[in-house]
Amino acid sequence: MTTDRSTAFLTYPREGPAERPAEERVRDWRPLHLHLPEERLQRQAARCMDCGIPFCHTGTVLNGMASGCPINNLIPEWNDLVYRGLWREAYLRLERTNNFPEFTGLVCPAPCEAACTLGIYDPPVTIKSLEYAIIERAFAEGWVAPERPARRTGRRVAVVGSGPAGLACADQLNKVGHQVTVFERADRVGGLLMYGIPNMKLDKAIVQRRVDLMAGAGIEFVTNVEVGRDVLAAELRRGFEAIVLCTGATRPRDLVVEGRPLEGLHFAVDFLYANTKSLLDSQHRDGRYTSAEGRDVIVIGGGDTGTDCVATALRHGCRSLVQFEILLRPPDERAPDNPWPQWPRVYKMDYGQEEAAALFGDDPRRYGLMTKRFIGDGQGRVAAVETVAVSWAAGGNGRPAPAPREIPGTERRWPAQLVLLAMGFLGPEEGLLAQLGVERDERSNMRAAAGRYATNVPGVFAAGDARRGQSLVVWAIHEGRAAGRECDRYLMGETDLP
């Protein structure tokens, strides 16, 4: 590599992997991204400033949002190794902190990049794409293989839920020799990685590849079993020395307004789950999903889930698509009260909005709108949505208003035969928690202090969205790793897990 690293951040612009053209990719469910050749990846790694006090791997929460990598990836170190062409060494450094770089490299919103020092004045380093390039190189070269522990401790641990938190916890506990059984109520392992994220964003072959490795390392996966129903909590307590609850925050937030019982209104999670399951089972030939084909679609809510609904509806062939956001449009640049290294609250289009704009000519999002009611067609199905514009004027002492204010005279009706509710989640489901006697906190999540991850029930731990509330995949991995460490400490009296 002939690039002079000392000035690369001044010489070379940020370059991420290209994406397939929107008009092409909306016709299939294949991955969005293409790949950069090795020389250009090394050039991007050279843009890392080796700044001395890197914020990119700090994992701090600032102003309620992640700043830097929550799992403390040693980013400047593996950037340097990639720059020098030492790919195996880069992989070994990456796997020290991240069990699943292929997941975060594809679906993480990259708070590391938001905290990159270069990003104060220039586009930040392409950390996320370099991370994904490292792990894919490792798989291609055969460096990633099942690692069975040298000895078993004789202790059995049940992990309930196979999302990113559950998988990370199981992986860590298996490494130190515990016999781990992961229970998943769906027919495939992966939780939201498998059924909550569409295939074009995270190819399910990538998820299955990792699950197969973990099974090869000695982890037992039990699918189609819902703990609390098919297996009672008392049975789990008798069969295992410890239990880690990684069930996720699976209760979707509803929108209780006039017309809610009409047909044609679906929670986003149900829409996405059925779509991916039908795709994997039969390439949609079984028809066991809600199709947006030929319909006017409205997505209520933003975030990653809302974007995934947009992209999925487009691939079905919807007639039109609008996405409602109750908040106002973010500014194009950081506001004075949102300085670096906070997560930048700025306007941007994700892949779904880019695709909608390519097909329909504009960003599908409409900001500052509140849904007032759903209007039926006289036969029990939704036909339109009525909205009103809202303002978020400052409240007392200049603080933001606690609730939106309707703007009189701004009512509007939007045609819709399919409405998708993507307004977040309200915590874990009740059944298993009640059987175990696990306490909830004031936000209805499982009560377990950060740092200990232990619930009020001895030997029962909690991690991921079930404990912290709806969050990022990378936070779930962080929590799963940490809960695994504390579970190991509980079982053995000490722990060597990070």
pLDDT for res 64 = 85
Q: State residue 181 phi and psi, 5-degree precision.
A: -120, 125
Which residues does 316 contact at the CB level (< 8 Å), separation at least 6? 291, 292, 293
CB of 219 within 8 A of CB of 179?
no
Pairing of strands 65-67, 382-391: unpaired
User: Do 352 and 334 contact (CB within 8 A), yes or no?
Assistant: no
Q: Residue 93: what pLDDT?
A: 97
Own/partner contacts of 13-20, CB < 8 Å, gap of 24 or more, are: 13/123, 14/44, 14/47, 14/122, 14/123, 14/124, 14/125, 14/126, 15/40, 15/43, 15/44, 15/126, 16/126, 16/129, 17/129, 19/351
Q: What does the pLDDT read at residue 2?
A: 58
For residue 360, which amino acid is it? F
Angstrom distance (rounded) from CA 227 to CA 455: 17
Rounded to the nearest 10 degrees, what angle do helices 473-492 and 164-175 cross at? 40
Return the number of other C-beta atoms located less than 10 Å from residue 484's C-beta. Answer: 32
* Cα gap 439→462, rounded to integer Å: 11
Nearest to 253 by CA among 429, 425, 443: 425
Give kind and range of the element (H or E) at residue 181: strand 179-183
CA dist 125 and 404 (Å) reads 37
The tokens for 362 are 């504009």
d(CA 415, CA 386): 9
How is domain 265-421 classified at the CATH fold level? FAD/NAD(P)-binding domain (3.50.50)
In angstroms, the first-to-last Cα distance of the chain is: 34
d(CA 50, CA 32) in angstroms, rounded, equals: 31
Same fold, 5-141 and 265-421: no
Answer yes or no: are the C-beta atoms of 135 and 37 closer than 8 Å: no
CATH superfamily of 156-250+426-492: FAD/NAD(P)-binding domain (3.50.50.60)
pLDDT per position as a tens digit, 284-319: 999 999 999 999 999 999 999 999 999 999 999 999
Q: How far apart are CA 470 and CA 77, in angstroms?
A: 31
Structure tokens belonging to residue 209: 């590849």
CA torsion angle 469 470 475 476 (round to 10): 90
Rounded to 5 degrees, φ, ψ at 438 are -75, 130
Give the tens place of pLDDT for each residue, 357-380: 999 999 999 999 999 999 999 999
Q: What pLDDT, on a 0 to 100 scale, did the predictor assign at position 445?
A: 94
- 374 — phi, psi (to 5°)? -105, 135
d(CA 185, CA 161): 8
CA–CA gap between residue 210 and residue 171 (Å, rounded) = 11
Q: Are 154 and 374 in contact (CB under 8 A)?
A: no
- One digit per residue, the tens of pLDDT, for the chain of length 498 reads 556 777 888 899 999 999 999 999 999 999 999 999 999 999 999 999 888 889 998 888 898 888 999 999 999 999 999 999 999 999 999 999 999 999 999 999 999 999 999 999 999 999 999 999 999 999 999 999 998 999 999 999 999 999 999 999 999 999 999 999 999 999 999 999 999 999 999 999 999 999 999 999 999 999 999 999 999 999 999 999 999 999 999 999 999 999 999 999 999 999 999 999 999 999 999 999 999 999 999 999 999 999 999 999 999 999 999 999 999 999 999 999 999 999 999 999 999 999 999 999 999 999 999 999 999 999 999 999 999 999 997 655 445 567 899 999 999 999 999 999 999 999 999 889 999 999 999 999 999 998 999 999 999 999 999 999 999 999 999 999 999 999 999 999 999 999
The token pair at 288 is 């066991």
For 485, the token pair is 């460490």
For the chain, the domains span 5-141, 156-250+426-492, 265-421
- Residue 171 has, within 13 A of its CA and on its CB side, a CA count of 27
The span from the CA of 185 to the CA of 247, in Å, is 10
Helix (H) or strand (E) holding 316: helix 303-316
**Tens of pLDDT, residues 135-187:** 999 999 999 999 899 999 999 999 999 999 999 999 999 999 999 999 999 99
Q: Please, are residues 453 and 467 in contact by the beta-carbon 8 Å criterion?
A: yes
pLDDT of residue 138: 98
Residues in the chain: 498
The residues, any chain, with a CB within 8 Å of residue 72's CB and separated by 6 or more, are 57, 58, 59, 97
Give the whole-angstrom CA distance, residue 359 versus residue 195: 26
Q: Can you name the CATH fold of 5-141?
A: Fumarate Reductase Iron-sulfur Protein; Chain B, domain 2 (1.10.1060)
Look at phi and psi of residue 367 and say left if phi exceeds 0, alpha if psi is from -120 to 50, else beta: beta
Q: Which residue has the tokens 């500052």?
A: 368
Residue type, 389: A
